[in-house]
Structure 1
Amino acid sequence: MRHPAWLRPLAGAVLLLAAALLLVSTERGVQRHRAVLARHGGTADAAAPGLLRVSGPIEVVGAPRDPLFGVGADVPLLLRRVEMFQWREVAVDGTVHYELDWVDHPLDTGGFRQPAGHANPGAFLVDGARFEAAEVRVGGYRLAPALRHALPGFEDVAPPPDGQLPPNLVATFSRAGDFLCTCARMDAARLGDLRVSWRAVPRQVVTILARAEDGLLVPAGDAATGDGFEVQVGDRALEELLPELPPSPAHPWLRRALAAALVLAAAWLLLGRRRAGR
């Protein structure tokens, strides 16, 4: 059965058009995907270090400890917070009044509108402090300081019981709920009393997108947007870390090979017609 003479060139043209559309859509998708990654410090060059997605539980080596109070926890970061019961000035609709409250830094009464009778003690006997683990890892990679400081979330750390306080602090501090306090009870606090509490970044599953250098995750220094890294709680997909990231075409090399096969088939149809017409 002979086919119409126009059928082969038409089929060849359709195959060429399909190959062109497939190749253009593939390359545009790949380029858009790479462009967004590049803005965050990623790279399309497989031979160069790019952004690496790592997910897993936080691992700690050399857990932090507050040596003054003997408080420690197997966490990446431990914070000591110190507050003083002191006067603070409150202005509402032009009316000023003064109240005693817990504040985590000394309040200078020199700026009060009515300083008389509202003098604060001044410097704290004990200051707040932060204590970091010697090393923090996720997925077998060590975290650079910038990534360690970006680990999300805090949880309270219980203060030591009265019987476990260092001897030099027993006469000054006692347990009052979730605090160590220079007062016997929180509801009996007086001007100048201190209370101390601790918080910690918990050990949890996180996902990090950063640059890997010799086993160390670091920010991408050439990122045009953001901090050069992303840190989120839980096991997150790349699209969750970078919502603006367009999806990369699935199996781009297979799509390119298919486009090449379509071109060859189109060439066979078109050139075969020419040979048949000679």
Structure 2
Amino acid sequence: MTRPQHSEGIGRDEHVRVTSHRKPGFLDRLSETTGGMLMGLVAFILSFYLLFTNEGRCVRTQRSLDEGLSLVVSLSDIYSPMPHNNRKLVHLSGPLMTMQPLYDPNYGISLHVVKLQRRVEMYQWVEFEDSREYEEGGEKKTETRYSYSTEWRSEVVNSRNFDREIGHKNPSSMAVESFTVVAPSVDLGNFHLSKGLIEKVQTFKRIPLSKFEPPHADIIVLDDYFYHSSSPRSPEVGDVRVSFYYAGLSGQRFFLGRPDVVTIVAHQETNMLGAYQTKAGNILELLYEEQLSATEVFEREHAANAALTWALRFAGWLLMFVGIKLMTRILYTIVDWVPILRDVVSMGLTVFALSVATSLTLLTVAVGWIFYRPLLAVLLVLLATLPILMAKIRDRPKML
């Protein structure tokens, strides 16, 4: 049970609240530990699945990329789709093109781009809290310091959840909503891009709003924002500011520059570019927002695959480490009433979890290699045993 003990003011926008908790008994702590053990067991089992399947995903991706590089056809003319390239994996680069502009009627923004994004922020109260726990009078207490400041936020901050809403009340909604609109049709020369390729255009750039006129008299343009505020330099809670971003510029604009150039590796079907199914099992539908050769595209994909593989290996190890810590925490709970013994057991359990998690992670990865890359695994085993074989040969007694 938790009950507030006292609350004292620390200035207008800061206060401290102290709550008292009944110090849990041994059975309570043991019950909590039992629940943690079940969670730890689940995390421990999931870590093996993640580590093992990650090796398979890595191998499948490598083989798909190698297959793609061996088959890809680079197109020099993006304006004349050739029938003999139908159903092949093709590589091409060039400027993006959209037929119709994307338009925001509320603010008069109209541009030939692949994506147009309106980002809305509202000036609001934000609550921060900092807690510390301590024991006093046989009770466990929590001291929480609450502070408040005003900030521009893109999401509505619900002030009803504040510890002290009086004087820090926010509006319940924004007068203007954020949105992203996507061009229905995007071309590269005379090739049409699939929805999957259009989705990969993700590099958003800020639109300089100083080049546009304010849509209404009560809107002020300042620092590339449209301000719904009477004083943008000294905003009040509830004021709104709007900014715009674009991705994939189509057609030259004197204040934005040249059209964005992309590089695509995808399946050609007449004049459509889309997903290519490899025999290795993966789908290739690649887009980079710069001009690259086919070799550079696949080199980057290999690098991304390696980075993801190591990230998932670390995630699997961490999941296993946490699982072991939770499963063995019952030993800590049993002795936590003895300070010296508690610290020794805690350190020992941490070292144990680190050692076991590291060993089991390496073992699981090794099993994955044997399963998914048997030839390479055998070569590594032979390489590992080579020093032992050489040592035995040297120690063999010479024949008279």
Task: Name the TM-score class by shorter chain.
Answer: 0.5 to 0.7
Matched residue, 1:235: 291
1:200 maps to which residue?
246
Q: Distance in 2 between matches of 1:241 and 1:180?
A: 39
Taking structure 1 as reference, are residues 120 and 208 closer, same or farther at Cα in structure 2, changes over 3 Å only? same
One-letter amino acid of the counterpart of residue 147, structure 2: H
- Distance of aligned partners of 1:221 and 1:160 in 2 relative to their CA distance in 1, 3 Å threshold: farther
| 1:237 shift after superposition | 1.6
- Distance in 2 of aligned mates of 1:60 and 1:179: 26
TM-score normalised over the length of structure 2: 0.46
Of the two structures, which has the highest relative contact order with CA contacts closer than 8 Å and spacing of 6 or more?
A: 1
Residue 54 (str. 1) matches residue 92 (str. 2): yes
Give the root-mean-square deviation of aligned CA atoms: 3.3
What is the distance in 2 between the residues matched to 1:217 and 1:185? Answer: 50
Pick from 139, 162, 170: which aligns with 2:217?
Answer: 170
Once the two structures are superposed, the pairs formed by residues 29-108 of structure 1 within 5 Å of their partners are 35-37=63-65, 49-92=87-130, 95-108=145-158
Q: CA deviation at 1:107?
A: 1.3
Residue 36 of structure 1 aligns with an amino acid whose one-letter code is: S
- What is the CA distance between 1:87 and its match in structure 2? 1.2
What is the 5 A alignment of 1:144-163?
Answer: 144-159=194-209
Q: 1:113 to 1:38 in 2, by over 3 A?
A: farther
Count of aligned positions: 208
Question: Does the 8 Å CA contact 1:161/1:175 hold for their aligned counterparts?
Answer: no
Distance in 1 (CA, whole Å) between partners of 2:187 and 2:203 is 17
What residue number does 2:269 align with?
Answer: 213
* TM superposition score normalised by structure 1: 0.64
- 1:190–1:42 distance in 2 versus 1, CA, 3 Å: farther
1:132 lines up with 2:132 in the alignment: no
| Counterpart contact for 1:41–1:224, Cα < 8 Å | no
| Counterpart Cα distance in 2 of 1:135 and 1:107 | 37
Q: Secondary structure at the match of 1:76?
A: strand
Relative to structure 1, the CA distance from residue 35 to residue 143 in structure 2 (aligned partners, 3 Å threshold; closer, same or farther) is same
CA distance in 1, matches of 2:221, 2:129: 34
Say if 2:86 and 2:270, in contact at 8 Å, map to a contact too.
Answer: no
Q: Is the 8 A contact 2:86 2:269 kept in 1?
A: no
- Any idea what the Cα deviations from partners look like across 1:155-208, whole Å, max 9, x if unmatched? 21133678x444xx333x221221110124432110000001100014311101
Q: Does the aligned pair in 2 maintain the 1:37–1:43 contact within 8 Å?
A: no
> Partner of 2:291: helix, strand, or coil?
coil
Aligned to 1:15: none
Which residue in the other structure is 2:398 paired with? Answer: none
Q: Which amino acid aligns with 1:170?
A: A
Identity of aligned residues (%): 24
Q: Which residue of 1 aligns with 2:227?
A: 181
The 3 A distance-change label for structure 1 pair 193 and 210 is same
Q: Residue 109 of structure 1 contacts residue 115 of structure 1 at CA under 8 Å; is this kept in 2? A: yes
Residue identity matched to 1:122: S
Give the whole-Å Cα distance in 2 for the aligned partners of 1:242 and 1:165. Answer: 46
Contact 2:85 2:268 in 1 (8 A): no
Contact 1:71 1:159 (C-alpha < 8 Å) held by counterparts? no
Aligned mates of 1:132, 1:211 — CA distance in 2: 22
CA distance in 1, matches of 2:127, 2:89: 49
Change (3 A) 1:59 1:100: same
Specify which structure has the higher proportion of helix: 2
Q: Structure 1, residues 11-64: CA drift from partner, whole Å, max 9, x if none?
A: xxxxxxxxxxxxxxxxxxxxx9x94348779979x9972422121111121011
> Cα deviations across residues 60-99 of structure 1 (Å, max 9, x unaligned)?
2101111111111122111111110011222356543221
Change (3 A) 1:38 1:103: same
Report the Cα offset of residue 219 of structure 1. 2.8
